[in-house]
Structure 1
Amino acid sequence: MVAHKVILPLDVSYARMTAQLLLPSVHKDSVVDIVGHMLAMQGQSVYAFPHAAIIRSRESSITDVVEAFERGDLVRHRPIRGTVHITRAQDYHWLRQALNHKQGSFTSRQEEFFGITEQTYQEAFNIACELIACGGGSVRRRELFAAWIECFSKAHAGQDAGEGNGRSLPQRFAQLLMWGLDRQGLLVEGPMRKNEHYFIDARRLPAADSAASGFYMDATVPREQGLAEVAYRYARGHGPVSISDLARWASLKKSTARNALEENVYCGRLGRYIIVDNKLAPLSAVAGSDVTFYCEPDLMDRAADYRHEAERIFYLPSFDELHVGYHNRTCLTDEMGERVICPAGNGMFRSLIVDSGRVIAVFPSSGVEWIKAPTVTRQRQVQKVIDGITQRMELLG
């Protein structure tokens, strides 16, 4: 974990849990409303997201999550730094256009290596459309990749590249096509089937300049307005957040993140704060990217009202926004905790057990792994919470 000069107080953890709808008093009824509140939630693992959604809802089960994808209310894609996220369908196009992330130099080199051009993307999309039509509106990833590789193998996919790394070239080629078509707003993952999501035509989703869009964007709307909406929705669902938090989460320059957050302060949607005597206090001007915090003006009062709920035990999935949604996570855990959460340092996070706003254990498949030795009573309390979430995660829950 990167060392931070600012060690965040526990109050920030409680406030973030409130903003993130983790407390019973702020739960929502609909998993779609939860995602809309958060703007985007990481969906790296197919079953981590349903876990993240139902713990923020009053009574929802994994069945409700599956049905939301089936109805087309939720989609799975890569709007932010190439990382898989879940958003509402109505937020897909405007969010993609507002962030407008250019592909990295590595991706450009890979496209050049495989000889991928705009014509390649168009042909790949035509193939996808045919398969989607034959599949009744969707196609599984395995079938889509196989069709692309078969069509383009000799010209692009490198199936004759020899031994070693050459064996993975076709899959890499297909991944590039998938990322490119997602970036262009043409292909997105929708219906959830067991251990995967099926691809659908992204043109079916509400256009950014339509009345159904989560935020209206057309050629007359400056990108800065879209980024201000991204900043507000991120801060609303994650606050208190710093400029560095938003810059990392949305892959923006710090200056761009600062301007987007400050626009919301000017409009009165967000307040500006700084840590004084280990607590957040109102701030009159920006003090720095890592020490200035933004959240809805009433968040700290709500967090104080619900603190007793935040002090309970929570079982969170891997990649939960309470952990991965920030640059500075020191209110939630320390360097030792980060090593336990991600022992290989490869971005593969484990499920978390949080008590009184701090990570006390992780829950890999092998069983609960404690950061500090627990009492017998604490072990029973944690197991009870795990069992409750596990029951709600059953497909017919």
Structure 2
Amino acid sequence: MTAGEPPASDADSEGRAIATLRVLNRLARDVLSESSVDVALQRLVDEAKQLLRSDFSAIVLLRPGSTTAIAHFAYNAPRRLFPSRLPRMVGLLAGPVVTQRAVRLDDIRGHPDGVGIPVEHPPVAALLAVPIFVGDEVVGELAVANAPGRGSFDDVDEVVAGEVAAHAAMAVSLSRAAQARAEVDTARKDFLDVSFHNIRTPLTVIKGFVSTLRARGELLGRDERDRCFDSIERALDRVQQVAEGRLPLLEDPVSEGIPSGEVVDVEVTEMLQAIARDASAADGNVKVVATVEPRTPASFRAEPQVVHELLGNLVGNAVKHSPEGDTVSLVARGDGAFIRFDVSDNGSGIPAREQARIFEQFYRTRESMDRGLAGTGLGLWLTRRLAELLGGSVGVSSRRGHGSTFWLTLPVDGSAPGTRTG
């Protein structure tokens, strides 16, 4: 009620109540139809000032997990009157958040708790502030205030302020729900992108060996044909794993868990020859040569499908960037408690400014895009993530015009002691 006004008659009070209900109903529709939480909160602040006949009104939202830090501030007054953004909730303004109750005072000037309003703000006397609840959580508050001599707030005002705060809570809830849906959509897209990436490589291998068998099958010896069929069978197994959601990082694209397949002794020479054979057949124009250096462990403990995924990504990437008729080398050697694999090509190399980014999710080099090379920008990201989860590491050494060497290290004993840098 404004100072100096005569008491309202029953008819006036009833008329105001009806008008207030109409405004609140309209606000509810506006909040439900508004996609921007910022716009919705500003509209609520504007209406709160009108409904409560106040000089100033504001909605403050807190940062998640904090009772003082401010994440959002909507204010109804010329910006020149309030040029600085409130950094945090203090003094009387923090009352509704701390006590989870409304604060209503006729005159806050000189209050021992302080006001919590910047000194450049015009003088304030009467204050009404109510908490904004989302469930049992206080996410902020609605505050209205009057200048000295402009009257105080009553019980009806507190009820109306609580209703506006409930509308603000609805806006926050809708915003959170929209954000959650967006995160689910992103996770679903990531899942599909990773699935596409992991199914494309084995399909390419299958196509390559089928083409070989169709063109030269009668000329191949029995052992060579058997190796072709073995490679096709391995590729089909990988396709089946994708379909069943058993390939690492597919069941939960945002999981930080370490793959939990069967760890066995992996024969180094046999594995490298199989990877080289698959990659050579998949491309047909680039040969992959596998070499095992002296003093390299004959075997190491790992999940065969995971290692095949890691090295397959690196070798496939090297083949894709190699000139037609060129050779890619795949070399294994011992490195203390680790086994190291180097994949080298004679391509155009990677500019220094891009080397730090090529392991980022969805990142593709400018050359890849300019040449129209197929890819999703997931292979190297998946490789680094898997390697680190398994206690290894991955990196690159490259000079423009001199090709690239990607290296991968994995612990020989199959343990995952942490990330190792090379």
TM-score in terms of structure 2 length: 0.17
- Using CA pairs below 8 Å that are at least 6 residues apart, which structure has the higher relative contact order? 1
The structure whose Rg is larger is: 2
TM-score normalised per structure 1 = 0.18
